Amino acid sequence: MCGITGWVAFGRDLTAEQRTVDAMTDTLAPRGPDARGVWLDTHAALGHRRLAVIDLEHGTQPMHTPETGPGGDRPRAVISYGGEIYNFRELREELVLLGHRFTTRSDTEVALRAYLQWGTDFARRLNGMYSIAIWDTAREELLLVRDRLGVKPLFYHLTADGLLFGSEPKAVLANPLADASAGAEELCDALLFLRTPGRVPFRGMRELKPGHLLRAGRDGITEERYWALEARPHTDDLPTTVATVRELLDDIVPRQMAADVPLVSLLSGGLDSSTVTALAARARAADGDRLSTFSVDFTGHTENFRADAIRPTPDGPYALEVARHIGSDHHAIVLDRTRLLDPAVRRTVLGAWDLPFNFADLDVSLYLLFAAVRQHATVALSGEGADEVFGGYLWFSDPGARKAETFPWLKLGAHRGLDPRSLFHPWFIDGIDLAEYEADLYRTALAEVPVLDGGDTENAAERRTRELGYLTLTRWLPILLDKKDRMGMASGLEGRVPFCDHRLVEYVFNVPWEMKTFNGQEKALLREAASGLLPQSVLRRKKAAYPSIQDPAYDRSLITGLAAAAGDGDAPLSPFLDGDAVRRMTARTATGSLSEFERILVESTVRMDDWLRTYDVELTDVKGTH
Q: Is 496 helix (H, G, I), strand (E, B) or coil?
A: strand
Alpha carbon distance 335, 320 (integer Å): 17
Catalytic member of 1, 2, 373, 526 = 2
Residue pair 494/485 in contact (Cβ under 8 Å)? The answer is no
> What mean pLDDT comes out for the span 616-622?
73
Phi-psi bin for 198: left (phi > 0), alpha (psi -120 to 50), beta?
Answer: left
- pLDDT digits 0-9 by tens, 434-457: 999 999 999 999 999 999 986 567
Task: Say what the pLDDT of residue 565 is.
Answer: 86
pLDDT band at 305 (very low <50, low <70, confident <90, very high): confident
Report the sign of the C-alpha dihedral through residues 237, 239, 242, 247, in that order.
negative
Alpha carbon distance 76, 564 (integer Å): 56
Q: Nearest 5°: phi and psi at 237?
A: -80, 180
Report in angstroms the alpha-carbon separations of 173 from 62, 164, 346, 544.
Answer: 21, 9, 21, 38
Task: Say what the pLDDT of residue 626 is.
Answer: 45
Residue 420 has pLDDT above 90, yes or no: no
Residue pair 293/328 in contact (Cβ under 8 Å)? The answer is yes
Alpha carbon distance 110, 574 (integer Å): 52
Q: Could you give the angle at which helices 460-471 and 434-448 cross, rounded to 10 degrees?
A: 110
- pLDDT digits 0-9 by tens, 558-608: 888 888 888 877 888 888 999 999 988 888 777 777 777 788 888 889 889
- In the sheet that holds 141-146, the strands lie side by side as 63-64, 77-85, 128-136, 141-146, 212-217, 220-225
> What mean pLDDT comes out for the span 359-364?
86
Alpha carbon distance 420, 237 (integer Å): 43
Task: Name the pTM for this structure.
Answer: 0.95
Alpha carbon distance 153, 437 (integer Å): 24
Asked about 188 being catalytic, the answer comes back as no
Residue 73: how many other CB atoms lie within 10 Å:
8
Q: Which residues share a beta bridge with 158?
A: 163
Residue 433 has pLDDT above 80, yes or no: yes
> What mean pLDDT comes out for the span 91-120?
97
